[in-house]
């Protein structure tokens, strides 16, 4: 009877020992799994929250912009502006100094009051013939005349000069000094001719004949006492 009790006690001791060693290990595994899962989820939630905040925060690095002004980030400096140097001088309305053609002074009138009386003379220049319309050197006058009107004088000349004689060039150069400018003209029978003008004044010269020794020409002009 004692042996049976002893064997029963030994068996109960073995069962109790197995239960003590096996049950805590199971609980430890389950608790570690649950705790581990919770810890992993918590760490994941903590690590995922800043990323979500960073992706939605305007101006953050996650959005691709480097100009954000979040905490801990220095604001970008103001963009530098370059001041252009002012021009040393501004060209005047009249143009650049030394490069702009100076305006011509008002040319003096070639005739003045009192105007000469109407006259015609053969073989010489008539009295009152304007000096500015003097013929080239070595010229023989056929007929010259002047005819005054109110504020104007009509002048006519028919003459010939000995070759070499460039009548057109002579009057073009002479009258350019008084402010006359050449304008287009229509010649008769392709005869060399030119027309010069200054305001309401005009001078027309036509070569009527070119010989072996002389050049015949005619001049007609209207000059005014006021330019």
Average pLDDT over residues 175-196: 88
Residue 146, in any domain of the structure: yes
**Cβ pair 198, 178 in contact under 8 A:** yes
Residue 85, in any domain of the structure: no
Average pLDDT over residues 11-33: 53
pLDDT recorded at residue 185: 77
Residue 140: give the domain boundaries. Answer: 119-224
Residue 110, in any domain of the structure: no
114 upstream amide cis, omega within 30 of 0: yes
Average pLDDT over residues 211-217: 94
> What are 110-166's pLDDT values in tens digits?
999 999 999 999 999 999 999 999 999 999 999 999 999 999 999 999 999 999 999
pLDDT recorded at residue 186: 73
Residue 103, in any domain of the structure: no
Q: Are residues 35 and 128 in the same domain?
A: no
Q: Considering its fold, how many domains does the chain have in total?
A: 2
pLDDT recorded at residue 93: 47
Distances (CA, A) of 13 to 7, 16, 18, 24: 10, 5, 9, 17
Residue 163, in any domain of the structure: yes
> What are 46-94's pLDDT values in tens digits?
444 444 444 444 444 434 444 444 455 555 555 555 555 554 444 444 4
pTM over cut 0.85:
no
Torsion angle defined by CA atoms of residues 199, 189, 153 and 124, in that order, rounded to the nearest 10 degrees: 140
Q: Does position 5 have pLDDT exceeding 60, yes or no?
A: yes
Residue 96, in any domain of the structure: no
The proportion of the chain whose per-residue pLDDT surpasses 90, expressed as a percent, equals 48
Residue 153, in any domain of the structure: yes
Residue 126, in any domain of the structure: yes
Q: Are residues 123 and 220 in the same domain?
A: yes
pLDDT recorded at residue 190: 77
Q: What is the Cα–Cα distance from 49 to 196, expressed in whole angstroms?
A: 96
Q: Are residues 132 and 35 in the same domain?
A: no
């Amino acid at each position: 009877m004692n042996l049976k009790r002893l064997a029963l006690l030994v068996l109960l001791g073995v069962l109790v020992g197995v239960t003590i060693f096996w049950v805590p290990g199971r609980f430890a595994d389950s608790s570690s799994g649950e705790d581990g899962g919770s810890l992993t989820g918590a760490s994941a939630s903590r690590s995922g929250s800043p990323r979500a905040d960073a992706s939605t925060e305007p101006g953050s690095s996650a959005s691709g912009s480097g100009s954000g002004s979040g905490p801990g980030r220095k604001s970008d400096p103001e963009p530098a502006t370059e001041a252009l140097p002012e021009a040393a001088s501004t060209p005047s309305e009249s143009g650049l100094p030394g490069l702009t053609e100076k305006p011509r002074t008002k040319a003096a009138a070639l005739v003045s009051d009192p105007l000469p009386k109407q006259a015609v003379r053969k073989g010489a220049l008539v009295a009152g013939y304007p000096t500015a319309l003097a013929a080239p050197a070595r010229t023989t006058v056929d007929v010259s005349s002047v005819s005054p009107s109110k504020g104007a004088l009509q002048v006519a000349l028919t003459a010939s000069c000995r070759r070499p004689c460039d009548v057109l060039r002579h009057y073009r150069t002479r009258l350019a000094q008084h402010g006359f400018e050449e304008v287009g003209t229509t010649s008769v029978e392709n005869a060399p001719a030119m027309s010069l003008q200054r305001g309401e004044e005009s001078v027309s010269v036509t070569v009527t004949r070119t010989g072996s020794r002389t050049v015949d020409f005619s001049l007609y002009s209207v000059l005014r006492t006021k330019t």
